[in-house]
A and B are shown apart, each in its own frame.
Chain A
Amino acid sequence: EVQLVQSRAEVRKPGESLRISCKGSGYTFSYYWIAWVRQMPGKGLEWIGIIYPGDSDTRYNPSFQGQVTMSADKSINTAYLRWHSLEASDTAIYYCARPLDSGSHYFYWGQGTLVTVSS
């Protein structure tokens, strides 16, 4: 069974750094793109970007480029999303997701990680 399990909720202050994770299981992690999606409180979904764990190839939404960094460690089947300096506007739920096979529609989703940035 394919599963994406994300790290727990986090609370940080503005200016702090953070890395959240998404661990895949039940499939060959290296072979499928992983997407990151943001959902701000009461708002719609926003595509942050995707990473191919096999070679760490990344594609960013220009709106998020420079604000976050995606990475992956295929040896432990885990993808990461990192912030160097959080802002209050980063408060959101962050999901990782994977397509069923090829394509860019996402069948498998993590449970989401709530990130709260508040002074």
Chain B
Amino acid sequence: DIVMTQSPATLSVSPGESATLSCRASQSISFNLAWYQQIPGQAPRLLIYDASTRATGIPARFSGSGSGTEFTLTISGLQSEDFAVYSCQQYNNWPQTFGQGTKVEIK
């Protein structure tokens, strides 16, 4: 299975600042990567797919980049509703796999 490693595990950010989250795949997955946001007690919400395409209704402050094995999710100008856990998912190979998540918390 492809292992998805996210860093850091926790990121402390002040509102209005930017956050950069990383996701690394154990082998190349081309652009077949998605990012999800999960607020405690809620289902995941798709933010980005195909590494850099924003899903319907996702604000422009969320952006994704990368290919192959290295990927980044950037959140510009963090708002209160952005403090959550973010997970990456690869769908290049079966079985699909997720990273363990990065918690973005208020500094």
Q: Which residues of A contact B (CB under 8 A)?
A: 35, 37, 43-47, 49, 59-63, 95, 97, 100, 103-107, 109-112
Q: Which residue of B has the minimal Cβ distance to A6?
A: B43
Chain B positions within 8 Å of A63 at CB level: 1, 95
* A105 & B91 in contact (Cβ 8 Å cutoff): yes
Q: Which of A103, A104, A111 contacts B43 (CB 8 A)?
A: A111
Most chain A CB within a 10 A radius of its CB, from B55, B89, B95, B101: B95
* B99 & A44 in contact (Cβ 8 Å cutoff): yes
Chain A positions within 8 Å of B97 at CB level: 47
Main secondary structure of the interface of B (DSSP, over half): loop
Q: Which residues of B contact A (CB under 8 A)?
A: 1, 32, 34, 36, 43-46, 49-50, 55-56, 87, 89, 91, 94-101
- Separation in Å of the B33 CB from the closest CB of chain A? 9
Q: Given the complex of chains A and B, what is the CA–CA distance between A47 and B46 in angstroms?
A: 15
Q: Which residue of A has the minimal Cβ distance to B49?
A: A105
Q: Given the complex of chains A and B, what is the CA–CA distance between A97 and B56 in angstroms?
A: 16
Q: Given the complex of chains A and B, what is the CA–CA distance between A45 and B14 in angstroms?
A: 27
Q: Given the complex of chains A and B, what is the CA–CA distance between A111 and B43 in angstroms?
A: 6
Q: Given the complex of chains A and B, what is the CA–CA distance between A90 and B44 in angstroms?
A: 20
* A45 & B91 in contact (Cβ 8 Å cutoff): no
Q: Given the complex of chains A and B, what is the CA–CA distance between A114 and B89 in angstroms?
A: 22
Chain B positions within 8 Å of A37 at CB level: 44
- Separation in Å of the B92 CB from the closest CB of chain A? 9
Chain A positions within 8 Å of B98 at CB level: 44-47
* B43 & A95 in contact (Cβ 8 Å cutoff): yes
18 A-B Cβ contacts within 8 A?
Answer: A35-B96, A44-B98, A45-B87, A45-B89, A46-B98, A47-B95, A47-B97, A47-B98, A63-B1, A97-B43, A104-B91, A105-B34, A105-B89, A106-B44, A107-B56, A109-B45, A110-B43, A112-B43
Q: Which of A43, A62, A100 contacts B55 (CB 8 A)?
A: A100
